Every structure is written in structure tokens, then in C-alpha cells.
A and B are shown apart, each in its own frame.
Chain A
Amino acid sequence: MTQKITAHDVNVFYGEKQAIRQVSIDIDQEDVTAFIGPSGCGKSTFLRTLNRMNDTVASARVEGDIRLDGEDIYSKDMDVVQLRARVGMVFQKPNPFPKSIYENVAYGPRIHGLASGKSEMDAIVEQSLTRAGLWAEVKDRLSDSGTALSGGQQQRLCIARAIAVDPEVILMDEPCSALDPIATARIEELIHDLRGRYAIVIVTHNMQQAARVSQKTAFFHLGELVEYGDTNDIFTNPREPRTTDYITGRYG
């Protein structure tokens, strides 16, 4: 197994408050990794350190060592804009741009100069929408507004938008929490299809979802990484009593 991201002794502070304590974790290239844990346990915060989205929070401070393919992403040489193109992100609430479906997908490749000409761009848009499982539904109305789609379609559009810049890793922050069960099932299928091409990290509240989509699971509690291992082991044979309590529904 190749390790895409390695994090070592990561601490995150919001002002005086410490949100993440001494987290060390290796993310595999080939697997879907799920972060689970009760609300406020820091799993989303940790996810956002992996593409430096926490930089936008003025009071946030990150300590420790996070490497993408061996490169320190917090070093001065790392260009944060390019990092975010390489490590794409899908957010909790679908947030398409209030522009056409085509423009939503084409925006990323355009600002990074990934397509030279209209036909190449068309190809990227089609491929991204196809991979996100949305092409068949929208191919006849690419000029409609992205915000006119249903919630599940919007979320898949956001996934297509992330895919369009050809990232190496896709981070998903509770991508199904605003969706109905059918749309959720579509997204889960999609995650399944995308596995292997991209390293995927998904934060979820829903333990069944973690069990369904992931191969590795990390359990966070109060800013600490309590347990990390194969999803099967975590759910059937957890080592830590806190994990057992959470999985059996004693808190959370």
C-alpha cells in the first residue's frame, strides 16, 4: 500500500482552544478512508488541515508535519493554491456556483489552464460529469444554472467540479448530510466508483455509511485520534473501549 498523505503529531488551535491533539495518521492511495466521531470531535477540522482550508480562518494555527507524497504541505515552498487543486474538496452543503452547469465544471480547469481550446474543455466537462454520474441527467441542459438542480444532483455537480481539476486526493466533509436516502445512495455508489483513481477521505456522522463506503476508518474523540484501522476491525472488533461505546451507540 502506498501512502498518499502522512500526518505526524498534528495539533490545531483556534485561538487558545486546542481542537486537534497529537494526531498521526497515514492515508492510503488506494482506499477510501472514513473519519467518524461525535459532533465537535475535530474530524472536520482535521480534514480541512489536509488541504489547508483552515488557513482561511484567521485564528487557526496548525502544528505538526503533514506530507503529500512526501512533500511538506505547510512548508514555505508549497503553493497553497496548487495544493488545493491537487487535494480537492466537497463540502457538507452542496455549494455550486450560481452559474451554468458547464461553467461550474469548467471553472477549475480554466483557472489552472488545463484545457487549450473549446473542444478540450468540452471533453473535460463531459468526462468529469460522467465520472460524477451526472452526465446522462444534465447533458441536454448544460447551460442551465447549477443551482436549479436537486440537492443530490448539486452535490454530484460539486464532485464533478472537484474531479475536473484532476486532483490526487478528494476530501469529502459529510457530503450526504443534507441529502435524502436515495441521493445518499447515489453518492455512495459514486465514491465506490471513484475509489482507486483518487485517494478519498470522507467525514461522516453516519456509521453505516462509513461501514459501507470505506476500507479504513479513523475514530476521533475530543480532538484525539482514538483508533485507526481497517473498517472491518473497527466495527467488529474495536480495541479501544471508547470506540466500542461510540459504535454501540452509547454516546454520539
Chain B
Amino acid sequence: MTDRAPTDWRTDAMRRRIVRRYGAERRFRMFGLGAIILSAGFLAFLIVTMVMQGAAGFTETRVSLPIDFAAAELTVTPEQLRGDRGNLALAGAGLEGVVDGAAGAAFAQQGGAELLSDGAWLRVRDTLKANPGMLRGRTAIDVPVATDIDVAYKGDGTPEAEQVVAALGDRLSRGLNRDFFGNADATDPTRVGIWGALKGSLLTMFVTLILAFPIGVLSALYLEEYAPKNRWTDLIEVSINNLAAVPSIIFGLLGLAVFLGTFGLPRSAPIVGGLTLALMTMPVIVIAGRNAIKAVPPSIRDAALGIGASPVQVVFHHVLPLALPGILTGTIIGMARALGETAPLLMIGMRAFIAAPPEGLTDPATVLPVQIFLWSDEVARGFVEKTSAAIIVLLVFLLAMNGVAIYLRNRFETRW
């Protein structure tokens, strides 16, 4: 065998190789940077569009409506206005008719009562309850306008509505739509609110969390720390992994068949939605939990066992606290997926039109993504901005959830 000649590191071929290598490095970095910029751009585009369209959804257009209560002769005394009985008293006294009459008188050219939102008289009612003294005189109250005027004032209306807006001039004003945060679904877009869906989502997520988290974590702990490794546990592992990949609508059908069909639970209820989503979230938590538990170094288990800790003490004093940040991350990913889930909830009837926020776990309710889906399907123009506004609420909810998760993870994180 002949000896190798000493390598010459200064030939042209070597130099070209170096140039090519630098080029490859530079290209790779550019591609990476390009990918990041592209995805950041898409994200920014999404957020900007949503905020621009949705911001209007949080506001309402009001018109100043002059009413002469003294002339209207409402048979109500200021004392009767207190509390819920006041609502009944004013409705019974025909306040709605008074408001319609006032609108007819003030805006005869612009369509009279048609100009106002269906909920305008409710605003008058609440104003009266706050200032009983108004009953005895003339006053002007800002009330919400009908949806076509509202849309036109915000700059996207029909030509007829645009004319009305021009005629009314500075009698129109804009303000924060408080009803949006207090109401549930409605047929009139100026009266819809997100609170019903938000509360439905909160209740549903609550059920999902208290079911899926403990069951998921305990399953993960048992499978990792206790279960013997045999064919049965392999089968369970494969099943859980498959379960995590099952399309969500299948879980909806399962929930329909089992919870509604077999157990006879109420339709559209957060408890059924929560149970269904818990089925979907649990495998995600089990998988994330097992990975987090696997990542706890075996030397910690040895150390605890070596001074006579029982297996349960090893798990709860050492393994679980160290795995908790990872488990929480997995849980939040699962919960975020559940929060955004629409399909399985359609199956169990959560797409119904529900005009009152749910009072409990068994009341009919809807959830944010389903509400968005329903509003996006509406014909009336006013729903476009409401849809975007609801999306913003959903995204803020998601961000808040992630924020809590990051906070918890940092709190439980152990420095090594």
C-alpha cells in the first residue's frame, strides 16, 4: 500500500468548495428568514383585517330621540321604577308604543319607528329607570338605530340608507355597544351579544377541563409508571394514539349517540359539549403527559426509591411535579383545540338559536366558534362586523388561556 500524498488545502478545487459552502449557508439562512417573514406577514394580515372589520362590531350608532313623557301620560310613578318590577311596569304602560310614536313624530321623513333598532325602547327604559325624574318632562335620549342605518353610518350601506344618514347629520353619534358584551344571539344584528356564547364556552371548557385533565394525567401516570409492558398496554397505547387522530366530528356523533341517546342528557347543553370535548382532549393530554413523564430523568426515581420512598411517593413527590410543566403545555394545546372546535358541537345541537345566556350546565347554550359559524351564515349586513368582533373575542380568549398556561408553566418549572 502506498502512502497518501499530503493534502494540499490551497488548490482551486478546495477554494471553490469553500465558496460553494458559504453560498449554501447563506441560501439556507435566507430561506429560513423568508419563511419566518412570510408567516409573520400572514399573521399580521389576519390580525389587521380582523381588527379593522371587527372593531366596528364593538360600536353602535345612536340617534338622539326627543320624547315628551309628560304628554305621553305613562301611568307609572317614579317609585314603581325600581328593580325588575320597573321593567314590567314600563312594558305594561306601553313604553314601546310611546317610543315608536316619538320616532314617528321626530323622523317622519326618514321612516319613523323603522329607523330605530328593535331594542331602542329598552335603552329608553333603562335610561328612565336611572333617571325617574325624566317622567315629568321633555327630554332627548340617544337610542341605537336599525342595522341598515348603522352599517351606512359606518360607511358601507345602501344608497337609501346613505341618504337617511346624510339627512340626520349630527343627530347621529357613535358609542361603545355595551349590549354586545351582555346579550346572547338575536335576529336583529344591532341587538346581538357575545356574552351568551362566551359563557357557553366557559361552561363547556370547565366541564372539559375537570374531566379530561385528571383522567388524562392519571392514565398517563399509570401507563408510564405502573403498567407492565406487555401486549395489552401496547394495544392501549396504539388505541390512545389513534384516538388523538380521530376527526372531531366522529366524537360529535359518539356524543350524540351516547350522551343524548343512551343517557338522555339535554340537547345543546354545556355539560354534553364538555363531555364530548373531554373525550377528544383526553388522548392529547395522555400523550403529552406520557412524554413529559418519560422526560423525568430515571436517576430521580432511583434517588427517591433508594431512600425508601414508596412508588406512590416517588410519583407524587418527584415525578409529577417535574413533569407538570410539560403536562400543562399539552393540556393547554388540547384545551385550545377544544375551544376552537365546532363540528362535534353541531352534532349535539349546540348550533340552535339561543337568545339567553345559559344559567347552568344543563341550559341550552352555544359556544364561540359555533356562534361565529352561525353569524357568518346570516344574510343581514350587520352580521359581518359582528362575526369579526366575535372572532376577536375568541382570539382574545385563546390568548388569555395561553397566557395562563405560560404563567403556570414558568411557576412550576424547576431549575436544574
Name A residues whose Cβ lies closer than 8 Å to a Cβ of B: 51, 53, 56, 58, 81-86, 88-91, 93, 95-98, 107-108, 111-112, 145, 147, 158, 161-162, 164-165
Contact = CB atoms under 8 A, between A and B. Distances in A.
Interface stretch (B213-221, B309-317, B368-376, B395-403): B309-317
Given A95-B302, A98-B322, A107-B317, A58 B307 contact: no
Interface residues of B, number: 22
7 contacts: A84-B307, A88-B307, A95-B297, A95-B302, A98-B300, A107-B317, A161-B303
Contact of B229 (A58, A81, A83): A58
B305 interface: yes
B307 A56 contact: no
Given A98-B414, A147-B416, A165 B308 contact: yes
Given A58-B228, A58-B229, A97 B300 contact: yes
A85 B317 CA distance: 17
B309 A111 contact: yes
Interface in B270-327: 297, 299-310, 313, 317-318, 322
Contacts of B317: 107, 111
Given A53-B306, A108-B307, A111-B317, 15 more contacts: A53-B305, A56-B301, A58-B228, A85-B307, A88-B307, A93-B299, A95-B297, A96-B303, A98-B300, A98-B414, A107-B309, A111-B313, A145-B415, A162-B306, A165-B308
Interface of chain B: mostly helix, strand, loop or mixed: helix
Contacts of A107: 304, 307, 309, 317
A224 B415 CA distance: 43
B299 A81 contact: no
Contact of A53 (B302, B313, B414, B415): B302
Contact of A165 (B229, B301, B307, B313): B307
Contacts of A84: 305-308
Nearest to B299: A95
Interface of B: 228-229, 297, 299-310, 313, 317-318, 322, 414-416
Contacts of B322: 98
A90 B303 CA distance: 8
Given A58-B229, A111-B313, A147-B416, A95 B308 contact: no
A98 B302 contact: no
Given A58-B228, A91-B299, A147 B415 contact: yes
Contacts of B416: 98, 147
A98 to B, nearest CB: 4
A97 B322 CA distance: 10
B308 A112 contact: yes
A165 B313 CA distance: 16
Contacts of A91: 299, 302-303, 306
B306 A88 contact: yes
Q: Which 5 A-B pairs have the closest CB atoms?
A: A85-B308, A89-B306, A95-B299, A108-B307, A84-B308
Contact of B310 (A81, A145, A147): A81
B389 to A, nearest CB: 46
Contact of B308 (A81, A96, A98): A81
A112 B313 CA distance: 11
B307 A97 contact: no
Given A58-B229, A98-B415, A147-B415, A111 B300 contact: no
A81 B303 contact: no
A58 B317 CA distance: 22
Nearest to A164: B307
A81 B309 contact: yes
A95 B228 contact: no
Contacts of B307: 84-85, 88-89, 107-108, 161-162, 164-165
